[in-house]
């Protein structure tokens, strides 16, 4: 059987790191065995779904290198949901309920106040046909629930959590359709998984109770349930669910200069015991993907880790990889010189401005100014073609007696206006002899 997974976002907002982690893991799970990864746009909520978010979802996946093998739109499949619904209604597996949200909330509060689980009491099943007709004649439109079979437990072997056991009597019959006729998540998702041939559903642990109910839906629809796995949710560095994780979208990461490979490298291993390797590409990550490596503990997402991984990736990017993102005029030698000092590619522009000038050196004392005047005269006389930085500092060391910080720092400050930065042997060549002489003389004045 070909492994088929799916990622099913709702286009009501931009994808964030938690969504992307789910998409990536489903892609890896499918590609590990040469299977299929499908994108399903869950746009049944017509009021909140927007086409701009559909386009953003596709763009984000494409940016990360996650290419779906097919795409479906739930808004184009309402006829299938209607057929499935009517099939279940004909067999008594869905039933109408007339309680208002306020009435249901009151019932829940009463049960909780008595120390009981807030399970729906199935009061709607006690209504006679005449009572239902009376309510509808009065303009009351029902919502619909799926009738769980409470005679046998619900069990499955979860790919991450292991053996799972639920007593249906401890679960409310789930609402599958609102009073206005619109669909909730549970039934359309099951119908689509059957139609799309989904074999494996990998999602967050917040869906575990949904899975218990959906397993019965698959059976009621005459299909075998797919394999399920539920991974721990992301938490922030503070050790609890972070609101920021819900707003940390791919657009924000791109704006921060994060490379897609860094996002993939971190999220692919987040929640496992495997080390993060920034050098692994998607195919290599897929080959090593293993659900048994996932733990039950919350998966901790740390911005600092992402930026550290990003820096490791940037340090390995060639000039050809980034040429279109570099400042005008920057050469391959310039990129090679500044690359070790970068955490993000866009920082190259800051260092290139130091090469092209002008620079403002810090205030120097009289002794350092005299030393820089000596440096300018020395630089004027040395051969530029053969390692000028080495020749300059060697001559100055012999002539001035300076060494270490006192030898090198004033030169760096005068030539770059900085106390730190890329290797000066490369920077001096990039700055050029004439500009370097001008900077040394200006700093010595």
Q: Which residue has the higher pLDDT, 245 or 396?
A: 396
Banded model confidence at residue 1, pLDDT cuts 50, 70, 90: confident
Instruction: Name the CA dihedral angle for 168, 169, 174, 175, rounded to a multiple of 10 degrees.
Output: 150
Which runs of consecutive H residues, i.e. helices, occur in 202-245?
208-220
Ranges of each domain in the chain = 4-72+183-234, 80-177, 243-314, 319-355, 357-444
CATH topology of domain 4-72+183-234: Rossmann fold (3.40.50)
What are the pLDDT digits (tens) for 95-128?
A: 999 999 999 999 999 999 999 999 999 999 999 9
What architecture is domain 243-314? Orthogonal Bundle (1.10)
pLDDT tens-digit readout, 287-345: 999 999 999 988 889 889 999 999 999 999 999 999 999 999 999 999 999 999 999 99
Per-residue pLDDT for 238 more than 80? Answer: no
In the beta sheet, which residues pair with residue 157?
163
C-alpha span between 160 and 212 (Å, rounded) = 15
> How much of the chain exceeds pLDDT 90, in percent?
91
Q: Cα(first)–Cα(last) distance of the chain, in Å?
A: 79
Fold of 357-444: Arc Repressor Mutant, subunit A (1.10.10)
CATH class of 80-177: alpha beta
pLDDT band, residue 236 (cuts 50/70/90): confident
Reply yes or no on whether the pLDDT at 381 is more than 70.
yes
Give the closest residue to 301 by CA, choosing from 364, 233, 214: 233
Phi, psi of 86 (to 5 degrees): -65, -35
Instruction: Report the alpha-carbon distance of residue 437 to residue 392 in Å, rounded.
Output: 12
- The answer to whether residues 282 and 65 touch, using CB atoms and an 8 Å cutoff, is yes
Decide the pairing of beta strands 162-166 and 175-177: unpaired
Note the pLDDT of residue 239: 67
State the DSSP code for 183.
B
Give the pTM. 0.90
Q: Among candidates 203, 310, 302, 295, which has minimal Cα distance to 245? A: 302
Mean pLDDT throughout 247-269? 92
């Amino acid at each position: 059987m070909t492994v088929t997974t799916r990622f099913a976002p709702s286009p009501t907002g931009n994808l964030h790191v938690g969504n992307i982690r789910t998409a990536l893991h489903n892609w890896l799970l499918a590609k590990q065995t040469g299977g299929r990864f499908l994108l399903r746009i869950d746009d049944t909520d017509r009021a909140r779904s927007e086409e701009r978010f559909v386009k953003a979802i596709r763009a984000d996946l494409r940016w990360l290198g996650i290419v779906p093998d097919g795409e479906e739109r739930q808004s184009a499949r309402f006829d299938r949901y209607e057929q499935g619904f009517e099939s279940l209604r004909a067999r008594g597996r869905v039933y109408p309920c007339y309680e208002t949200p306020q009435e249901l909330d009151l019932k829940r509060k009463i049960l909780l106040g008595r120390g009981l689980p807030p399970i729906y009491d199935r009061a709607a099943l006690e209504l006679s046909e005449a009572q239902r007709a009376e309510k509808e004649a009065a303009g009351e439109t029902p919502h619909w629930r799926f009738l769980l079979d409470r005679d046998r437990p619900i069990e499955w072997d979860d790919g991450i959590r292991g053996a799972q056991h639920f007593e249906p009597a401890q679960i409310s019959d789930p609402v599958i359709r609102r009073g206005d006729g619109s669909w909730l998540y549970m039934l359309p998702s099951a119908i689509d998984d059957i139609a799309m041939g989904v074999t494996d559903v990998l999602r967050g642990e917040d869906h575990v109770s949904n899975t218990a109910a959906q397993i019965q839906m698959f059976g009621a629809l005459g299909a075998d349930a797919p394999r399920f796995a539920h991974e721990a949710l992301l938490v922030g560095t503070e050790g609890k669910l972070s609101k920021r994780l819900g707003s940390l979208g791919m657009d924000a990461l791109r704006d921060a200069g994060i490379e897609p490979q860094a996002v993939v490298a971190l999220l692919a291993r987040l929640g496992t015991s495997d080390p993060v390797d920034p050098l692994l590409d998607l195919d290599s990550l897929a080959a090593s993907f293993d659900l048994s490596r996932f733990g039950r503990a919350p998966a901790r997402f740390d911005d600092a880790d992402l930026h550290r991984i990003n820096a490791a990736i940037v340090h390995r990017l060639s000039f050809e990889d980034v040429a279109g993102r570099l400042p005008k005029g920057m050469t391959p030698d310039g990129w090679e010189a500044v690359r070790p000092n970068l955490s993000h590619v866009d920082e190259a522009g800051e260092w290139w401005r130091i090469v092209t000038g002008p620079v403002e050196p810090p205030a120097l004392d009289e002794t350092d100014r005299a030393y820089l005047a000596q440096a300018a005269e020395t630089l004027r006389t040395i051969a530029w073609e053969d390692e000028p930085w080495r020749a300059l500092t060697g001559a100055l060391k012999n002539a001035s007696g300076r060494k270490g910080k006192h030898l090198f720092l004033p030169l760096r400050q005068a030539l770059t206006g900085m106390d730190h930065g890329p290797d000066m042997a490369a920077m001096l060549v990039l700055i050029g002899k004439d500009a370097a002489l001008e900077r040394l003389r200006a700093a010595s004045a």
